[in-house]
Amino acid sequence: MKTTTRLLDLTAAMVLVVYVSFSPPLVSGEPGRRVSMTLVRDAAALGAFCLDGSLPAYHLDRGFGAGSNNWLLQFEGGGWCNDIASCVERAKTRRGSTRYMSKTVVFTGVLSNNASQNPDFYNWNKVRLRYCDGASFAGDSQFGNGTSLLYFRGQRIWNAIILDLLPKGLAKAHKALLTGCSAGGLSTFLHCDNFTSYLPTNASVKCMSDAGFFLDAIDVAANRTMRSFYSQLVSLQGIQKNLDPSCTHAFFPEPSLCFFPQYVLRFIKTPFFILNSAYDVFQFHHGLVPPSADQTGRWNRCKLNVTACNPHQLDALQGFRKDMLGALMNFFRNSTRGGMFINSCFDHCQSALEETWLSPTSPRINNKTIAETVGDWYFGRGEEAKEIGCPYPCDKTCHNLIPASTSDFLVNLDI
């Protein structure tokens, strides 16, 4: 499990690196806006620390004009650590300490302040919450053995950042959207209703998860690797007391199941939008085919290049998509205020970059981009904004992280 843990964290970083390498250039030719880091100075008084004891942080880009009273908060992603060894290692990196983080970050995609790239949210106050606890901002514990001291304080970090933002205008928000990618997308499920409780009762508050709908999947070796991983994570970092009490009561005696979005979703009261690929690369590599389930390497070529998958492997991928849609079906049919965009790209996180959020070549379902679908849902434009794409290989609008067609090779090689 230690190896799996490090791979979960490493893959989160690799996904971003590969994506940048494989994506075409920004359509506008303009660089994203760099935003400086703000340390939460009052966090220490709340016991809110990163894994290594450093102060938590966020990046705030002020809104302007008609968006001055509207707020968009984005949880940063980056995997998890579910045992002491991996958390000790994580604490020595930017995933566990603000000491190692870049002091400025580029705001693109849903965080862009360019009206042509982000027409619905460009002038809002936009915040990126830096991720340094290793448990989707949900833990509340610590570990010390005389040699190592680790702070599992994600829940307190979340509270400290919100309390720091309230007097900066968040307390008077007219509209607000809480979002996040990957482990940050999972955070959105865990904190959505709590976010609403901080804001004015007459504010329009909604939440969106990007690549955060992690399935309680059965892997190709018939094991529940992600369930075991999350169970250890919840136990180690003291997460159970911060999970939705209605959910933990319903799933007693396995309350850690409520860390999975598919189980907590029906208890969330705030309007919610789910953005996910049905063939999410991270889940493909660690939920469906984790290293522990493929020790002989039979899936290696398939995991790096979908066109190399054999019929049996393609059947497993289609089964994973079927399971994801099955887990979402109640939400799809019965949620009157929910939205979704479930496409068939081999991707992971699609709202953070212009190429996939809104560009001439960005992914589409029924000729609608992700940005258009999210905007229609948030502002109530038209009918229900619930889009499900056709299964692989029919979607020709994808930006795939791994080759999924012969044309991907041309994109990846920049030909």
- Give the N- to C-terminal CA distance of the chain in Å, as an integer: 40
Can 182 be counted among the known catalytic residues? Answer: yes
Is residue 381 classed exposed, middle or buried when 0-12, 13-18 and 19+ CB atoms within 10 A define those classes? exposed
Give the count of alpha carbons within 13 A of 104, CB side only. Answer: 6
Catalytic residue chosen out of the listed positions 182, 335, 351, 359: 182
- Which residue among 52, 61, 210, 280 is the active-site one? 280
> Which of 59, 191, 286, 348 is an active site residue?
348
* Contact status, residue 283 vs residue 229, Cβ threshold 8 Å: no
The CA-based angle 387-388-394, given to 5 degrees, is: 125
Any catalytic annotation for residue 280? yes
Active site residue 348: yes
Instruction: Please give the positions annotated as active site.
Output: 182, 280, 348
